[in-house]
Structure 1
Amino acid sequence: MRKPFIVANWKMHKNVEQSVAFLHKVLDRLPNGDHVDIGIAPQSFATYPMIEITQHTNLQIISQNAATKYDGAYTGEISVKDLKDMGINYVMLGHSERRRFFHESNQIVNQKVLAAANIGVTPIVCTNEDEESIVINNKRYYILRQLHNVLQGLSIEQLQKVILSFEPTSSIGEGHEMNLQLAERGCQLLRQQIRLFYGNDVANRIRILYGGSVNPENIAQVMDQPDVDGVLIGRASLDPEKFVQMANYQNNYALALQN
């Protein structure tokens, strides 16, 4: 069984003081990590003080981005090698906002994925809903256009450790609503595509997250979908009370069923 992963993406919110204060409000109220993984992706300058506080806990601090190179004359970039040295185990790559605002192509995302995987940092690879049909052995398949390109060059062992995220642009941002059928359809397509190109073993092992307007009211429904192994949460994760509720969705759901 794939272990669920609840990830908060804070985007360009919270300074160091606010990030540290948030941790002090939530750390002793999070699940112990036996049945669910929990992570927060803060702004880059807040990662180190947050790692210092969480190093003996089950909370993962995640990088929102990394460069294609490990070092060199790349002003403003973040080395995934140095992230690893700092104690970061996961990095988000290919987020729709990176693609839209910073024009990151599939080729650039692929280079970042390889850099992370080769150094031992697990990529959380984000994709959206752009579909296309292909024909293999006279049979038509529907796949997500971005996925195959951004995973090129990874070994089967590396692929099994990669985490995928499906984030439909129609559900991202304030004022949008989560579509449960779209969430499952997208994650299902990702798993089918992994199975098609890399086999059942990889498809059954790889974790797939859903991102798009997840909140305390709908997280249990999202996580109940067979191909959804976790969530990538934006705005709702900025509130410590909501974050604690979502991190403990398993216990809250069990209590709701009892009542």
Structure 2
Amino acid sequence: MRKPFIAANWKMHKNIAESVDFVNQIKDKLPDPAKVEVGIAPQAFALYSMVQAARNSGLKIIAQNAAAEYNGPFTGEISLRGLHDLGTNYAMLGHIERRRLFGENNTAVHKKVKAALQMGVTPIICTDETMVQKEVNGEIHYVFQQLMSVLHGVSLDQIRNVVISYEPSWAVGVGQHANVALAEEGCRTIRRTIADNYTYEIADKIRILYGGSVNPDNIKDLMAKPDIDGVLIGRASLDVDNFLKMVNYLDDGKANQQVGK
């Protein structure tokens, strides 16, 4: 069974003191890390303090971005080697805002994913709903064009060590209720895309998150879907009470059912 993964993307919110205070308020109220994985992506300058504050709590600290190069003359970039040494567990790569606002393309994201895998930092690969038709064993399947471009050259062994986040443009940052049926359809199509290009066994083990207007009111419905293994939460994760409601979304079954998948 795939372990549920509830992750917060704080974007450009919270300073160091606010970030640490948030961790201190939640770290003793998180679900059993053996049943549900919880992570937070703060601003880069808060990563070290967050890692220290989260020690022994099970809370994972996530980088919002990283460079493809490990070191060198790249002013303002964030080194994956530095993130690994810091104890950062994951790095979000290819977020829709990075693409829209900073011009990141599939080639750039692909390089970052490969670098993260080589450094031992788990990439959370963000992908949108852009699909193309492809013939697979005589059948026409829809595949996620952006995702497969980013995964080009990622081996069977490497693909096992990625997390994928489905971020449809119709839902990211709009503050509206997520369409649960469309969210599940997108995650299911991603899983089939992985199966078509790798194996069904691998596709069944990869965690696929949904990102887009997730909140305490819809998280249970989203997490009840068979192909949604977690969520990437934006603005709703900034409030302690709301975040705790979401990470403890289910004490009545699914968290227990998914242990070890």
TM-score (norm 2): 0.95
Q: Secondary structure at the match of 2:170?
A: helix
Bigger relative contact order (CA 8 A; separation at least 6): 2
- Asked if the contact 1:9–1:42 (Cα under 8 Å) also holds between the matched residues in 2, the reply is yes
- Asked if the contact 1:170–1:176 (Cα under 8 Å) also holds between the matched residues in 2, the reply is no
The letter for the 1-side match of 2:148 is H
Matches within 5 A, 1:11-22: 11-22=11-22
Q: Which residue of 1 aligns with 2:94?
A: 94
Q: Shift of residue 175 of structure 1?
A: 3.1
Q: Which residue of 2 aligns with 1:257?
A: none
* Pair 1:190-2:190 in alignment: yes
The letter for the 1-side match of 2:201 is D
Q: Shift of residue 139 of structure 1?
A: 2.1
Q: Secondary structure at the match of 2:117?
A: helix
Q: Secondary structure at the match of 2:47?
A: helix
Q: Shift of residue 252 of structure 1?
A: 6.5
Q: What is the distance in 2 between the residues matched to 1:73 and 1:91?
A: 21
CA deviation map 1:103-142 (0-9, x unaligned):
1010000000000001111000000111111224432110
CA RMSD across the alignment:
1.2
Structure 1 stretches of 5 or more lacking a match?
Answer: 255-259
Q: Which residue of 1 aligns with 2:72?
A: 72
Q: What is the distance in 2 between the residues matched to 1:144 and 1:153?
A: 16
Q: Shift of residue 56 of structure 1?
A: 1.4
CA deviation map 1:191-244 (0-9, x unaligned):
000000001111011000000111111101000101000000000000000000
Q: Which residue of 2 aligns with 1:114?
A: 114
Q: Which residue of 2 aligns with 1:168?
A: 168
TM-score (norm 1): 0.95
CA deviation map 1:63-97 (0-9, x unaligned):
00000100000000000111000001100000000
Q: What is the distance in 2 between the residues matched to 1:253 and 1:8?
A: 22
Q: Which residue of 1 aligns with 2:105?
A: 105
Q: Secondary structure at the match of 2:45?
A: helix
Structure 2 stretches of 5 or more lacking a match?
Answer: 255-261
Q: Which residue of 2 aligns with 1:236?
A: 236
Count of residues in Structure 1 that have an aligned counterpart in Structure 2 = 254
Q: Which residue of 1 aligns with 2:159?
A: 159
Q: Which residue of 1 aligns with 2:220?
A: 220
Q: Following superposition, which runs of at least 4 residues in structure 1 exceed 6 angstroms of deviation?
A: none
Q: What is the distance in 1 between the residues matched to 2:37 and 2:50?
A: 17
Q: 1:245 to 1:229 in 2, by over 3 A?
A: same
Q: Which residue of 2 aligns with 1:29?
A: 29
Q: Shift of residue 34 of structure 1?
A: 1.6
Identity of aligned residues (%): 51
Q: Which residue of 1 aligns with 2:38?
A: 38
